[in-house]
Amino acid sequence: MKNVIYIFLAVAIILIIYNLTYLDFSNLLKGESWVAVIGILTASCAVVLMLILRASKIIEKKKK
């Protein structure tokens, strides 16, 4: 399970970096830039969720 978490974290970070290349800072909310913003937000949520899952697994291991 530990490896799966790290794989998902890596994929989400790669997606954030990829979507950063599509941002047009003069028009953030139009066209492809809007799609990139949504992609960055969803990948950021995935990173946060994976970090929470990782923390819960660490707490579970210490509890046993």
Range of the domain at 16: 2-63
Sign of the C-alpha dihedral, residues 4, 10, 12, 18? negative
Tokens linked to 37: 């913003």
Q: Tell me what the mean pLDDT of segment 3-29 comes to.
A: 94
pLDDT at 2 over 90: no
Tally of domains in the chain: 1
How far apart CA 43 and CA 37 sit, in angstroms, is 10
pLDDT in tens, 25-59: 898 888 889 999 999 999 999 999 999 999 999 99
- Full-model pTM: 0.86
